[in-house]
Structures are given as structure tokens and as C-alpha cells.
């Protein structure tokens, strides 16, 4: 049965190059529909669910909006509370998802439409353009070396600049580049074409068109993750993104990362000088119902403590201040991690919200209050790191509308029952896991990923039994 | 015959090639003993790279391969699969790690880094020369599950597994399933009715044809290994025949014993025969042998004589002669959902717990809130039954106190305290609720809003500080604390004090963990394999962890974990047999003296003394190839297959001779 239809090639009446490259669908369609699952989102939650299901014999299609999988975890340097290297923990999993015979990666893809019922959904997926024919590309990287354009990359955030043709990370899965159309000289000005000329296999295709395909699946897991609150536009009190040495926590991860743009050195974005005094501000945009988000983002207390400790490991004579409202270290070993940070690493915690951050000559001044002493505090620092609130990834509401599930006012997907059905949605056959349901850390996300894999197996195996009995 | 060896050196883009001269390394490698082919390629793990390896194996008839690239944790499987696909035994391919262990750490000295890379390759080649072709080990799989603990974690895990078509046995120590959740009134942050939610799940368990519940039961002995566990279950006698009992309650009226009811945390009394809890599902009375006069010491008054309940029972359902039973269950996987206890308030003499009747713990307060509880849901003081006008809730009692009590945070207390205070305020309009806290930890979806609402709409008074002591004053309790925000000492006169005690692992967990062969941490919580990636896998294959036995957490997180264990087990059960790596220990029969040191040292229980030969055998299905027994054996009688001492020594020899040359 030809279930995969190249819709636009039919519509246009003439063949166009299909952007979809890897992930041939023959394997995926080799099993009945009640043995096929779609996972939307290729972060740690989606990967965990996909590998669990793949190992259970299901054919899994993992649909990822970005050109490669790994999600936010790939941007992290180390993880709390063990200070394990995030890449070393994650890359074996991303590689496994890429090589698993039962997992088909569909990157640069987004879900457009849903039809059908639990056990037999038909999902229309939009394959976006990458301007690189991944069937030809060998991942040699020559194009990346030759590209003359440099700019902000999705992956390195403000910490580093990337060429206009690039892979999200050096360990990207799939390890094939894509072109950022907004920055590509050829696509914006019609002149350049260096990558096309340098590609030894002729994989660059500036005329690539987006395409659509349909996939029939028995169940869907939504694991679309989180983004960082738009503090640059919404929080002028912290410089509104105009002070170069005020960065957010995710950007700090890139500075701390050994494979990051500064090879793990903590230097000021403005002048590359080593940072000797650093201020971390927690609850930036969180716990602020009047102006921003009312909820707590759950992980900031821990990752800030981690940032502070990693910074101290790199800059022994550096001084760290952390502004906090409450320290929330509720997971296994978390409280002990904080206690160690305070007692052994001499990190100074100041209870209070920072009121204002502004450039003051060569340094940045942070004004706040210490609510324990009741005094006003002013600190001059080289760098300020904002633990900005976690928000659902862009497009969560649209996806919810497509899938027939609900979002709460903050845009997080709503579970069926908070206590006993945290994975189920109101729509049978569609399950939610990870930070798209609410802020949480990696441990809780990956547990939910496996939980979603369980729910899918329970549903599809009971449907199969019912069908057998009916026969 | 000497093996024909091939060497494939990966550039890893520029990761390796920028600090290792890959052309030179390949040329050097080609000169090494036994090497018939050596080349380099930009991305050996890419499809064309793998094809290169496969084609060369076929063309040159290689019978040993070294791929010099990144850590084996990244791509050992990739290349072994590729080799296997063209007929070379996978275990004749080895990875030489020249990225993490060479190029990344020697970025400034290309000649030396290149020399080191070559010596790593040479050492690995020497290993491959002596590698044996191996087959994976196949293990039988019993597709049944044993869930230890019938709280909400055990219930949710069992239901998913049973609904997926697998038989499940639940072992519950108490007389009924439901766990601590059955003591709770309403949930945070949405005030859902807990008995209603829970009853649905308990009914589902009891009605499920695939779930068998052993109440009053504990694991006696665990034998076997992943896929093939044999659990011996010890069941205390029930004394009441549930088939005959009509739950008329006559026995309850006549029992002369009066003891504190643990379920109601001592807020009410019960007989030796009693209903375990108020749920519909626990209507049949249970008899606690330890409290019953019939079983009491015969020296005491009435000792051994009382048969009041037996005489009163119109259905002849009570048989005091019932004895404990032992049952065996064969299962392929185990879920440890053993839950928590509250740290005993008697550890906190400064708060008067245990001495002052109006100082109670949080679970006792839940019992006061339960419409079917000892006060029919009225918040009343235990001492005199009056409605308390001022209630002080103290958080972090025993938690976050590394010097004297528990270092960890108990995670759920901030939220249940806010919930209890709000429920109290909703019931007692003129009452005041004070909450003593260190940090408010409302860190999940809608939690922060829940606490905010409590402050704004129910006027909860939060005081940041640690309570120093609680004493009995004139008709009230005096709570001495400090407000760290104003820097002042505060004394609150209260009618009732509620302690949010730390959660700790269930009593007896150390012994149970030993029986189940799972490791525990310093606080006796069960240890997971990897906190981020394998949060529900224990140190023993086939044994999974869910809920508060692993660390304190709320119901939502407990349920997520429980479902995750069900997912992992379904994945495991999707195959007919299990496959294990053959890279395990083996014993030289003629060298082993049967001293048994390896048996003691093995962390997996994989070594067993053969009663007939007096030689220590290796259980292939259990051995993880960790090598502990090899280091411990005084006679050098064990070896790790394909990582023998001889292979290691040759590899080290290569390094030593090369480093002299450098």
C-alpha cells in the first residue's frame, strides 16, 4: 500500500527534489499500523521513548523540527548532581536512535495534520528544506569550512558564531549540514555559491522545495520540550539583551562546555577577558505572576548551583554570587549538592530578587536586596547569568490544536489526571512526556519518556488482542 | 595460523586529524606485525566509511579488525554490527580509542600524539590477535512480573503490565494494598478526592484476571537472575476466611483489646481484630497476632484463652489455628515499589512529639481531614477534641539537617503542608495557620500558584525560620521560632502543631535490598543505575525501581516512575529470550582451589560453588564481566573472556616499549 504520498509533487504536477533524505520508509511500513508509533520531538524524552519502543519491536518514527536530534541536553556542559558530562551521557543515545533498525528519524519535519483514531492515526508531516540533499551528502564538512558567512547559531546561542551552512553540533545525528536561509549569501543576495562549488558530491541544492508526506501510526508521543523565556524583549530591568555580558543560563552552558566556542573558558562576551566576579540571578521571569510567568521552572536552582560550581572549578579565585528567592533542591542528592556548593565552594547565596542590572563602565552593576539582613546590595561583576524561565517550545498551542489536546494558560500540555494519569491526554492514543507537560529535569523527563512508551505498548497490545479476539 | 589484520583510522572530521597525523599513523600501522591493510577516512562511522570496512574485510579476507576512532562507548556496536554483516565474528573487531584518550588531550603536540595513537593501535592489535570468536548467550525468559509493594507505585506498574497481557503478582506487607495514599484525604495542587481516585485503581487491581495480590506478605528468599527469578513469599496468617466473612462487624465489637490504630497514626484505637482502613476494599477484618490475647503469653491473664471473636462470628469465618504459608512465584522481572515511612517524631524531643498529644505528624493530620477518619473529617485537637484556632505547621522536620538527621529534602512536604493548611483554613474560617519554612519548594506545574493562592486567599502566614522548640504552656502550646526575614524571635501560642516529618525508606529495606541484591545509598534509598538515563533500573538486571523507595517524591512523579518500570519490562518481554554479552568471567577448572573468595566478592551473585567439583562456577546469565573476581582470585584461576591477563600484559608491553622509543 502506498501510504506515503509526495503531496506537493502531485499538486504541482511536476517532480521536485524531495528534501526528505534519510529515513527510508520501507522498514517503517513493513509492520502493521498497530505496531507503528510516532514520537514528536527528538530530545532526551523522545529519544528514551523511541529507543524503548524500538527495542520492544515497534517501528518508531521520530519527528524532529530541527535538522538533528538531541534537543536541549546536547547544549548542556555537565549535569547535576553528579557533574557527568552531558554529551558523554547523551551522544551514545542519539547515535543509538540514529542507528536503531526500528527507529526512523525524520528531522527538519513538523506535524501538519492528524486524522484517524487510536490505533490508526494518519499524520501529515511537512518536510522542511535544508538546501542539502542528504542522500548525496557524506557529511565530510568541506562546505562548513569554506562558507564565508558567519553569524549567530541556534546551537551556540550568543556564545559563538557559526557559518551559514552548519550542523547543530559536532556530534549531530544525522551528521549532515543544513543552510540557514536567513544568513546564506546565495539565498539572500544571489551571490556566493561557495558551498555548492566546494561540495565534492554535488549535494547542495538551493532550489530544494518543501514536501509533505503521510504516515499511518497507532499512537503518538508528544515530547516537544521547552524554550527559554524571551527575557531580551520582556525584561528591560536586566538589560533587555543590550548588555553583552548579561547572558542566560543556556548560553552559559555553551561557555562551560569543553566543546563549546570558548573550549570551556569563561570569558566575557564583550572583550574576551576572564570573568573574575560573576552574579547569577534565579527566577528570571519565573514566580512573577504580575509581570511574567507565575510558575516555578523547577530546574534553575539546580543548574545555577551547577554553573556556579563549574565556574569555581575553572576560575579558582573567582567570586560567585547567587540571587535566589527560595532554594529548591528537591531531587535525589540535590540538597547535598547545594550544601556542598555553599560550604566547600564558597558560593555566596543572597536571598532576594535582583531589581536592576546595568552597565557601569567596564563592569555590570547588579542592584538588589538581601531580605535576610534587610539591606540593599550592589555588586559589580564581570558577567551576569540569568536563570530565565522555561516556557513551552514555540508552536505548542498550534500542535495541541492539530492533535486535539489541551494547553494550559502557560502553553504546557494538559495531562488527563495530574496524579494518576500524568502521561495521558484527553485524546486516547496521544501521550505527553517531558518539559512540554511542565518544567522538569532530565531524570524526570527520561522517566516520563519510558512511561509514555509503556502507555503506548499497553494501548496497542490490547488493541491487537481485541482484534485477534474479533477475528 | 596468524590472523590477517586490518586497521581503519578515522579522522573524526578534524577531531582526530588535527592532532594526529592520520597518514603517518596508517603508514606506521601497515608495518605492524600481521597487518595486511591500513587506511584512514574522514568519518569511518558514516555509511561510506562502514562500507569501506565491510568491503575490505571481504576482499582481503581479514580475520581481525582494529578501528581507531572515538570511545568504544560511541561506536563499538556500530562497527561490530558492520563486521558481523559480512561474516566476520563481531568479537574479532576492537576499537582503539585515539580521540578521547589521545587527540583531544594532546592538541599541541602532533608528533607525540601520532606516536601515542600508533601505540594504542598496536596494543589493540595485540589484543585482537588473541581474541576468540564468540557467540552471544541466550537466556530463557519467564514473562511474569513480581511487584514488591502495593502502594500507588506498585499498583500503577502492575496495572500497566497486566493490561499489556502479562501476569503480575503483588507482594504487600500490610493487610491491604493502597499504601500511604490510602491515608491521604485530598491531593495538591487540584484538591482531587484521593479515596475516590485510589478506589478505582484498587478495584481494577482486585478485579484484574492477570493480577494476584499477596497481602500480609514479604519476600522470604529470592533466587535466580534476570528472566528467571524464583521468589519465595512468606505470608502471615489472615485468620479470617474472606470467603465466609460477611463483614458484619460482630467480631470487632467483642474484641477486648484496645491498642493505637497505626493507620490513623494513633488518633484512634482498634481491637486486635480490626478493619485495616476505611476503604471499601478493606471491609474484611484482619487479626493482628501480636495484639491478640489468644496468642499472648500464657502466664498473663486471659493468655491463650480468649476466643471472643471466634465465638461471636456467626459465619464461623475465624480460625485462630491458621499458620503462615510459603508460596513460590517464578517471574522474569521484579519491580521494587517499597515506599517510605515517616521519620519518627520521637527523634525530635525538642518538639515534644510523642509526649505532647497536640503535636502530631502530617499523616496524622491527613487522618483528621478524612471524612471517614477518626474525627469524620473535622480538624480537632487530639487532647480535648476542641477545634484548634491556631495551628502551626513545621516543615523540614528531620530533613535538610545533615548534622543531626537527614541531609536530603523530602520533596513533597512543602506542597502537602500548603494543602493541609489551606484545607484547615477552608474548614475553620476564623482559624490561623502558621507555616514555618526554610525555603518554599513548590517546583512543579501549578504548585507555585497553589502556594500563592494559599497566602493570598486563605491568609496562610509563612514564617521563614527553623522552630527551636515546642513546649506546653498555659492551655496552649508555645512554639519558639525566629523570623529570619525580620531577624526577630517569635513565640506563637498554638492549639495544634503539625510536623512535616522527613520521608525515609521503609523499615527493613536494608535486609530486603540484600535479599534482592540491589544496592542502596547512604540513606538506604535504593540506587538507580544512572540518575539521568536509567532512573528506574537497579544495579541488578531485571530488577526495577519505582516511587519513594528510590528517593522521596510526590504521587505524580511516583506514578511516572511506576509507568516507566512497566515500559522497561514490556520492552524486555517483547522478545522470546534474552541475549547477553559473552564477555564474562570463565574459570580454569584445573587451577581453581574452591576457596570461595570470588563468591564473596561478586557484586551480582554470579559465582556459585559447585557442590560436586568444589570449583567456583560462573553463572553466565548473571555475570556482568566486571572483573572483580579476576582481581580477587589468589590463584589466577579466573579470566575475563577476550580480556585475559595475557592480552592486557601484551598491550601494556606495547606501550612500555614504545614510550621508551619516544
Give, as one character, the DSSP assignment of residue B100: I
Angstroms from A10 CA to nearest CA on chain B:
31
Angstroms from B180 CA to nearest CA on chain A:
14
| CATH fold of the domain at A7-129+209-225+393-470 | FAD/NAD(P)-binding domain (3.50.50)
On whether both B179 and B222 belong to a single domain, the answer is: yes
pLDDT at residue A263, as a whole number: 83
Nearest chain B residue (CA) to A86: B532
On whether both B517 and B538 belong to a single domain, the answer is: yes
For residue B617, give its domain range.
Answer: 581-641
- Other CB atoms closer than 10 Å to residue B417's CB: what's the count? 28
Average pLDDT over residues A32-58: 97
pLDDT at residue B300, as a whole number: 61
Domain range summary for chain A, segments of one domain joined by +: 7-129+209-225+393-470, 229-389
Report the complex ipTM. Answer: 0.90
Nearest chain B residue (CA) to A173: B46
3-state secondary structure of A257: coil
Contact A62, A217 (CB under 8 A): no
Place of cell 544512572: B530
On whether both B302 and B352 belong to a single domain, the answer is: no
Of B165, B408, B566, the CB nearest to A335: B408
Average pLDDT over residues A413-431: 96
Q: For chain B, what's the residue count?
A: 662
What global pTM score does this model have?
0.90
Are the Cβ atoms of A331 and B411 closer than 8 angstroms? yes
pLDDT at residue A16, as a whole number: 33
Give, as one character, the DSSP assignment of residue B510: H
Diameter over CA atoms, chain A: 79
Contact B645, B620 (CB under 8 A): no
Q: Measuring CA to CA, which residue among B593, B602, B503, B514 is closest to residue B553?
A: B503
Q: Residue B56 belongs to what H/E stretch?
A: helix B47-60
Write the CATH number for B520: 3.50.50.60
Question: What residue ranges of chain B have pLDDT lower than 50?
Answer: none
Contact A455, B563 (CB under 8 A): yes
pLDDT at residue A19, as a whole number: 36
Nearest-5° Cα angle at B640, B639 to B644: 70
Q: Residue A448 belongs to what H/E stretch?
A: helix A442-470
Is B101 an interface residue toward A (CB < 8 Å)? Answer: no
Specify if B369 maps to a domain.
yes
Q: Please report which residue ranges of A15-77 form alpha helices under DSSP H.
A: 25-28, 44-55
Distance CA A305, CA A385 (A): 12
Nearest chain A residue (CA) to B411: A330
Domain boundary among B573, B603, B624: B573
Average pLDDT over residues A126-148: 93
- Tell me which of A328, A387, A437 to substitute to probe the interface with B (most B C-beta atoms closer than 10 Å): A328
pLDDT at residue A87, as a whole number: 81
Distance CA A86, CA A443 (A): 12
Query: How many folded domains does chain B comprise?
Result: 5
Specify if B522 maps to a domain.
yes
Distance CA B279, CA B300 (A): 35
Is B570 an interface residue toward A (CB < 8 Å)? Answer: yes
On whether both B568 and B595 belong to a single domain, the answer is: no
Assess whether pLDDT exceeds 80 at residue A45.
yes
Nearest chain A residue (CA) to B556: A419
On whether both B479 and B597 belong to a single domain, the answer is: no
On whether both B99 and B168 belong to a single domain, the answer is: no
pLDDT digits (tens, 9 = 90+) for A194-211: 999 999 999 999 999 999
- C-alpha torsion angle, residues A433, A439, A441, A443 (rounded to 10): -30
Is B267 an interface residue toward A (CB < 8 Å)? Answer: no
Are the Cβ atoms of B533 and A335 closer than 8 angstroms? no
- C-alpha torsion angle, residues A342, B448, B410, A84 (rounded to 10): -50
Assess whether pLDDT exceeds 60 at residue A226.
yes
pLDDT digits (tens, 9 = 90+) for A263-304: 889 999 999 999 999 999 999 999 999 999 999 999 999 999
On whether both B64 and B114 belong to a single domain, the answer is: yes
- Tell me which of B401, B405, B563 to substitute to probe the interface with A (most A C-beta atoms closer than 10 Å): B563
Contact A427, A405 (CB under 8 A): yes
Write the CATH number for B595: 3.30.70.20
Q: What is the CATH number of domain A229-389?
A: 3.50.50.60
On whether both B350 and B461 belong to a single domain, the answer is: yes
On whether both B130 and B154 belong to a single domain, the answer is: no
Residues with Cβ within 8 Å of residue B406, at least 6 apart in sequence: B343, B398, B399, B400, B502, B504, B523
Cell of A370: 538581601
Nearest chain B residue (CA) to A302: B443
Are the Cβ atoms of B189 and A418 closer than 8 angstroms? yes
Average pLDDT over residues A410-420: 95
Specify if B650 maps to a domain.
no
On whether both B216 and B333 belong to a single domain, the answer is: yes
Specify if B317 maps to a domain.
no
Specify if B33 maps to a domain.
yes
Residues with Cβ within 8 Å of residue B344, at least 6 apart in sequence: B501
Whether residue A81 is preceded by a cis peptide bond, meaning omega within 30 degrees of 0, is yes
Specify if B649 maps to a domain.
no
Are the Cβ atoms of A89 and B42 closer than 8 angstroms? no
Are the Cβ atoms of A296 and B447 closer than 8 angstroms? yes
Nearest chain A residue (CA) to B196: A420
Write the CATH number for B99: 3.40.50
SS3 per-residue string spanning B388-448: CCEEEEEEEECCCCCCCCCCCCCCCHHHHHHHHHHHHHHHCCCCEEEEEECCCCCCCCCHH
pLDDT at residue A160, as a whole number: 85
Specify if B243 maps to a domain.
no
Q: What phi-psi label fits residue B466: left (phi over 0), alpha (psi between -120 and 50 degrees) or beta? A: beta
Q: Do domains A7-129+209-225+393-470 and A229-389 have the same CATH topology?
A: yes
Is B485 an interface residue toward A (CB < 8 Å)? Answer: yes
On whether both B301 and B386 belong to a single domain, the answer is: no
Of B441, B452, B559, the CB nearest to A330: B441
Are the Cβ atoms of B533 and A458 closer than 8 angstroms? no
On whether both B367 and B498 belong to a single domain, the answer is: yes
Is B280 an interface residue toward A (CB < 8 Å)? Answer: no
Specify if B653 maps to a domain.
no
pLDDT at residue B508, as a whole number: 94
Name chain A contacts of B411, Cβ cutoff 8 Å. 330-331
Angstroms from A363 CA to nearest CA on chain B:
30
How far the first Cα of chain A sits from its last, in Å, is: 22
Cross-strand bridge partners of residue A323: A281, A350
Nearest chain B residue (CA) to A369: B485
Nearest-5° Cα angle at B313, B307 to B319: 55
Name chain B contacts of A444, Cβ cutoff 8 Å. 535, 557, 560
Amino acid at each position: 500500500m502506498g501510504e506515503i504520498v509526495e503531496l506537493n509533487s502531485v499538486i504541482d504536477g511536476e517532480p521536485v527534489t524531495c528534501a526528505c533524505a534519510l529515513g527510508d520508509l520501507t522498514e517503517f511500513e513493513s509492520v502493521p499500523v498497530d505496531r507503528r508509533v510516532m514520537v514528536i520531538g527528538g530530545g532526551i524524552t523522545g529519544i528514551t521513548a523511541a529507543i524503548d519502543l524500538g527495542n520492544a519491536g515497534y517501528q518508531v518514527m521520530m519527528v524532529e523540527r530541527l535538522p538533528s536530534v538531541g534537543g536541549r541536553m546536547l547544549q548542556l556542559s555537565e549535569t547535576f548532581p553528579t557533574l557527568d558530562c552531558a554529551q558523554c551521557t547523551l551522544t551514545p543515545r542519539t547515535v543509538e536512535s540514529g542507528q536503531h533498525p526500528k527507529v526512523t528519524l525524520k528531522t527538519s519535519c513538523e506535524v501538519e495534520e492528524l486524522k484517524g483514531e487510536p490505533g490508526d492515526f494518519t499524520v501529515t508531516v511537512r518536510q522542511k528544506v535544508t538546501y542539502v540533499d542528504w542522500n548525496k551528502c557524506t557529511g565530510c564538512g568541506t562546505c562548513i569550512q569554506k562558507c564565508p558567512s558567519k553569524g549567530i547559531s541556534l546551537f551556540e546561542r550568543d556564545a559563538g558564531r557559526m557559518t551559514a551552512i552548519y550542523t547543530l553540533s559536532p556530534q549531530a545525528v544525522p551528521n549532515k549540514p543544513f543552510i540557514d536561509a536567513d544568513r546564506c549569501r546565495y539565498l539572500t543576495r544571489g551571490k556566493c555559491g561557495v558551498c555548492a562549488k566546494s561540495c565534492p558530491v554535488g549535494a547542495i541544492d538551493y532550489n530544494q522545495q518543501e514536501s509533505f508526506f503521510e504516515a499511518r501510526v497507532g499512537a503518538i508521543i508528544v515530547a516537544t520540550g521547552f524554550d527559554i523565556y524571551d527575557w531580551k524583549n520582556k525584561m528591560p530591568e536586566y538589560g533587555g539583551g543590550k548588555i553583552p555580558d548579561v547572558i542566560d543560563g543556556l548560553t552559559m552552558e555553551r561557555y562551560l562546555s569543553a566543546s563549546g566556542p570558548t573550549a570551556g573558558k569563561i570569558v566575557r562576551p564583550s572583550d574576551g577577558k576572564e570573568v573574575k566576579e560573576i552574579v547569577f540571578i534565579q527566577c528570571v521571569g519565573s514566580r512573577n505572576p504580575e509581570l511574567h510567568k507565575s510558575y516555578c521552572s523547577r530546574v534553575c536552582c539546580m543548574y545555577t548551583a551547577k554553573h556556579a560550581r563549574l565556574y569555581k572549578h575553572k576560575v579558582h579565585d573567582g567570586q560567585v554570587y547567587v540571587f535566589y528567592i527560595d532554594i529548591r533542591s528537591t531531587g535525589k542528592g540535590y540538597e547535598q549538592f547545594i550544601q556542598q556548593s555553599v560550604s566547600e565552594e564558597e558560593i555566596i547565596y543572597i536571598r532576594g530578587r535582583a531589581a536592576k542590572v546595568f552597565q557601569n563602565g567596564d563592569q555590570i552593576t547588579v542592584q538588589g536586596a538581601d531580605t535576610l539582613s534587610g539591606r540593599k546590595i550592589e555588586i559589580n561583576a564581570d558577567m551576569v547569568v540569568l536563570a530565565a524561565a522555561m516556557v513551552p517550545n514555540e508552536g505548542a498551542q498550534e500542535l495541541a490544536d492539530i492533535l486535539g489536546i489541551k494547553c494550559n494558560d502557560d502553553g504546557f500540555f494538559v495531562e488527563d489526571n495530574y496524579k494518576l494519569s500524568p502521561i495521558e491526554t484527553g485524546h486516547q492514543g496521544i501521550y505527553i512526556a517531558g518539559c512540554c507537560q511542565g518544567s522538569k529535569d532530565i531524570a524526570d523527563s527520561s522517566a516520563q519518556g519510558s512511561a509514555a512508551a509503556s502507555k503506548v505498548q499497553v494501548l496497542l497490545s490490547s488493541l491487537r488482542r481485541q482484534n485477534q479476539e474479533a477475528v | 595460523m596468524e590472523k590477517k589484520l586490518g586497521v581503519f583510522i578515522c579522522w573524526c572530521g578534524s577531531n582526530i586529524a588535527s592532532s594526529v597525523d592520520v597518514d603517518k599513523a596508517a603508514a606506521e600501522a601497515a608495518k605492524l606485525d600481521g597487518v595486511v591493510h591500513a587506511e584512514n577516512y574522514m568519518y569511518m562511522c558514516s555509511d561510506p566509511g562502514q562500507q569501506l570496512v565491510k568491503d575490505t574485510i571481504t576482499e582481503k579476507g581479514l580475520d581481525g579488525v582494529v578501528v581507531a576512532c572515538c570511545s568504544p562507548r560511541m561506536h563499538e556496536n556500530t562497527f561490530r554490527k558492520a563486521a558481523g554483516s559480512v561474516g566476520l565474528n563481531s568479537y574479532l573487531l576492537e576499537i582503539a580509542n585515539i580521540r578521547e584518550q589521545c587527540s583531544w588531550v594532546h592538541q599541541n603536540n602532533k608528533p607525540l600524539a601520532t606516536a601515542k595513537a600508533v601505540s594504542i593501535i598496536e596494543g589493540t592489535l595485540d589484543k585482537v590477535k588473541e581474541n576468540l570468536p564468540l557467540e552471544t548467550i541466550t537466556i530463557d525468559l519467564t514473562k511474569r512480573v513480581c511487584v514488591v509493594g502495593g502502594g500507588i507505585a506498585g499498583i500503577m506498574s502492575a496495572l500497566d503490565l497486566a493490561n499489556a497481557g502479562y501476569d503480575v503478582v503483588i507482594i504487600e506487607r500490610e493487610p491491604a494494598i493502597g499504601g500511604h495514599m490510602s491515608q491521604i484525604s485530598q491531593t495538591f495542587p487540584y484538591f482531587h478526592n484521593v479515596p475516590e481516585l485510589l478506589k478505582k485503581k484498587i478495584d481494577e487491581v482486585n478485579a484484574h484476571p492477570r493480577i494476584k495480590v499477596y497481602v500480609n506478605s514479604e519476600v522470604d528468599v529470592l533466587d535466580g537472575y534476570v528472566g528467571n527469578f524464583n521468589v519465595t513469599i512468606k505470608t502471615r496468617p489472615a485468620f479470617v476466611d474472606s470467603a465466609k466473612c460477611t463483614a458484619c462487624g460482630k467480631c470487632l465489637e467483642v474484641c477486648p483489646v484496645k491498642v493505637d490504630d497505626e493507620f490513623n497514626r494513633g488518633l484512634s484505637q482498634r481491637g486486635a481484630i480490626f478493619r485495616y482502613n476505611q476503604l471499601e476494599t478493606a471491609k474484611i477484618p484482619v487479626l493482628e497476632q501480636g495484639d491478640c490475647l489468644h496468642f499472648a503469653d500464657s502466664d498473663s491473664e486471659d493468655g491463650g484463652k480468649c476466643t471472643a471473636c471466634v465465638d461471636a462470628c456467626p459465619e464461623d469465618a475465624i480460625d485462630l489455628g491458621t499458620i503462615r504459608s510459603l508460596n513460590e512465584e517464578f517471574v522474569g522481572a521484579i519491580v521494587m515499589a517499597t515506599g517510605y515511612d515517616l521519620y519518627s517524631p520521637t527523634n525530635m524531643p525538642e518538639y515534644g512529639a510523642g509526649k505532647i498529644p497536640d503535636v502530631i505528624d502530617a499523616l496524622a493530620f491527613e487522618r483528621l481531614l478524612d471524612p471517614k477518619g477518626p474525627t469524620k473529617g473535622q480538624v480537632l485537637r487530639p487532647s480535648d477534641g476542641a477545634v484548634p484556632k491556631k495551628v502551626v505547621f513545621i516543615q523540614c522536620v528531620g530533613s535538610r539537617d545533615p548534622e543531626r538527621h537527614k541531609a536530603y529534602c523530602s520533596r513533597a512536604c512543602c506542597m502537602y503542608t500548603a494543602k493541609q493548611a489551606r484545607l484547615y483554613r477552608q474548614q475553620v474560617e476564623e482559624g490561623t495557620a502558621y507555616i514555618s519554612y526554610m525555603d518554599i519548594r513548590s517546583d512543579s506545574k501549578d504548585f507555585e500558584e497553589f502556594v500563592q493562592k494559599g497566602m493570598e486567599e486563605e491568609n496562610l502566614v509563612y514564617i521563614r525560620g527553623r522552630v527551636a522548640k515546642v513546649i506546653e504552656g498555659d492551655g496552649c502550646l508555645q512554639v519558639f521560632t525566629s523570623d529570619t526575614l525580620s531577624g526577630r524571635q517569635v513565640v506563637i501560642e498554638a492549639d495544634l502543631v503539625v510536623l512535616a516529618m522527613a520521608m525515609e525508606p521503609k523499615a527493613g529495606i536494608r535486609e530486603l535490598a540484600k535479599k534482592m541484591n540491589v544496592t542502596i545509598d547512604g540513606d538506604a534509598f535504593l540506587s538507580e543505575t544512572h540518575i539521568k538515563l536509567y532512573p528506574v533500573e537497579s544495579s541488578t538486571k531485571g530488577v526495577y525501581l519505582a516511587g519513594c523507595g528510590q528517593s522521596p517524591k510526590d504521587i505524580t512523579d511516583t506514578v511516572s516512575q511506576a509507568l516507566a518500570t512497566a515500559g522497561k519490562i514490556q520492552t524486555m518481554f517483547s522478545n522470546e529470550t534474552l541475549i547477553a554479552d559473552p564477555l564474562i568471567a570463565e574459570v580454569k577448572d584445573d587451577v581453581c582451589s574452591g576457596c570461595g573468595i570470588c563468591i564473596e566478592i561478586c557484586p551480582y551473585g554470579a559465582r556459585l560453588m559447585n557442590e560436586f567439583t568444589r570449583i567456583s562456577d560462573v553463572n553466565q546469565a548473571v555475570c556482568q564481566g566486571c572483573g572483580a573476581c579476576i582481581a580477587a582470585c589468589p590463584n589466577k584461576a579466573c579470566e575475563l573472556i577476550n580480556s585475559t591477563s595475557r592480552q592486557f600484559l601484551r598491550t601494556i608491553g606495547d606501550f612500555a616499549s614504545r614510550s621508551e622509543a619516544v
